[in-house]
Amino acid sequence: MLFDLPLFRLTLFLCCTLLTSVCNAQNRTPFQLTNQSPFIQIFAIPVAESATILKSGEETSHISINWANNYTTGNNPSEAILFDGESTQFDIRWRYGFDLWEFGVDVNYSHFSGGKLDDFIEDWHGWFNLPNGGRETVQSDQLKYIYLRNGNPQLDITEGHSGFGDTRLTGAYQLSKRGRFDIALRGGIKIPTGKREHFLGSDGLDANLALVLGDDVSLQRYQASYFFTAGALWAADGEVLPQYRQNTAIYYNTGVIKDVSENWQLKLQLDGHTKLYKTNLNQLGDALQLSMGGSYRISNDLKLDFAVAEDVITDSSSDVVFHISLYNYF
């Protein structure tokens, strides 16, 4: 099975909790999906969010599930790395609007294992005559996260584990909501609540601040809109590879959302960031991933997002991520 029993029970409980609320769905929202590479996940890089702040008294809550498969190897004269495994991350987010402000909390639960997708991915590559990147030379469904520096092991994780990760407190302010653009400032602080020895957190306090722009006017005749986010992340050294950490990084998101019917939308989104480690390896360098999918409005109360994400810069993010998110607005 993909999930152990406690993880399944947690998922079922959270979904039932969301389904009991009543809400009014926003029209267009980005995919809430970031780099699921194991060495990057621990930083909890902020997801893309709307440039429209919630109205005073409005609340949102939603759960996202990201099922990611990783396989990549790399080396240079001083470094060697192997990522081989799968992760399932559950993200739970809550937001509350107050005048022109918005406040929120993000928590997550992750499960790392050898997974079940390796054979499927190799078959997929075979059907379309695509390269496997060396997958066929190693054991299927194993978990190995290994990083060497000058021949010395810096990280060596081979056992599956689960647990809650770092917690993020968020805030936002509506700068403008007139004319062509909606503009907001969004920021947050990440608190090191996840256990670093289980690779569930960075063991450091991080902060971020971003400018978010949304345009529902320019593409109105196509029943579409676009958005753009640019932000900075300041990360403490923590206890995960502290001597190789890059303490400042830039992150960005952009995408297009198009209505295709009253209940269906198509979405295309790019998410990227500069490197968070002092390294020349692609696996720990600048990253860019592409997410393709859509959204279905179940009712006026609920909306379901679904997407598949792949790395645009090779090896910089997970080979493939299956994303699903249930939105609840009230």
Q: What is the pLDDT of residue 227?
A: 97
What is the domain partition of the chain in residue ranges? 5-65+88-112+163-329
Cα separations in angstroms, 158 against 110, 196, 249, 308, 320: 16, 15, 29, 26, 21
Are 72 and 113 spatial neighbours (Cβ–Cβ below 8 Å)? no
Read off the pLDDT of residues 152-187 as tens digits, 9 standing for 90 and up: 998 888 888 899 999 999 999 999 988 789 999 999
Percent of the chain with pLDDT over 70: 84
98 backbone dihedrals φ, ψ, rounded to 5°: -145, 110
Residue 250: pLDDT over 90: yes
Which residue type is seen at 160?
G
Task: Quote the mean pLDDT of the chain.
Answer: 85
> First CA to last CA across the chain, in angstroms?
35
Cα separations in angstroms, 132 against 65, 77, 118, 135, 185: 26, 24, 10, 5, 42
Pick from 17, 65, 26: nearest CA to 49: 26
Strand, helix or coil for residue 44: coil
Which residue type is seen at 191?
I
> Could you give the angle at the alpha carbon of 13 between the alpha carbons of 97 and 94, nearest 5°?
15
- Give residue 192's Cα distance to chain centre: 18
Residue 11: pLDDT over 70: no
Work out the number of other CB atoms within 10 angstroms of the CB of residue 233.
24
Cβ partners under 8 Å of residue 183, min gap 6: 51, 174, 175, 176, 177, 211, 212, 213, 214
| Mean pLDDT along residues 35-56 | 91
Q: What is the pTM of this model?
A: 0.86
Q: What is the 3-state secondary structure (H, E, C) of 123-154?
A: HHHHHCCCCCCCHHHCCCCCCEEEEEECCEEE
Tell me the fold of 5-65+88-112+163-329: Porin (2.40.160)
Strand partners, 79: 149
Q: What is the pLDDT of residue 5?
A: 45
Cβ partners under 8 Å of residue 230, min gap 6: 210, 211, 250, 251, 252
Pick from 145, 137, 154, 73: nearest CA to 113: 145
Cβ partners under 8 Å of residue 16, min gap 6: none
Q: What is the pLDDT of residue 164?
A: 93
Please tell me the least confidently modeled range out of 1-5, 122-126, 141-145, 180-184.
1-5
Please tell me the least confidently modeled range out of 143-147, 294-298, 322-326.
143-147
- Could you give the CA distance from residue 38 to residue 318 in angstroms, rounded to a whole number? 9
Please report which residue ranges of 110-241 form alpha helices under DSSP H.
118-127
Label residue 43 by pLDDT band (50, 70, 90): confident
Residue with the bigger pLDDT between 13 and 220: it is 220
38 backbone dihedrals φ, ψ, rounded to 5°: -60, -35
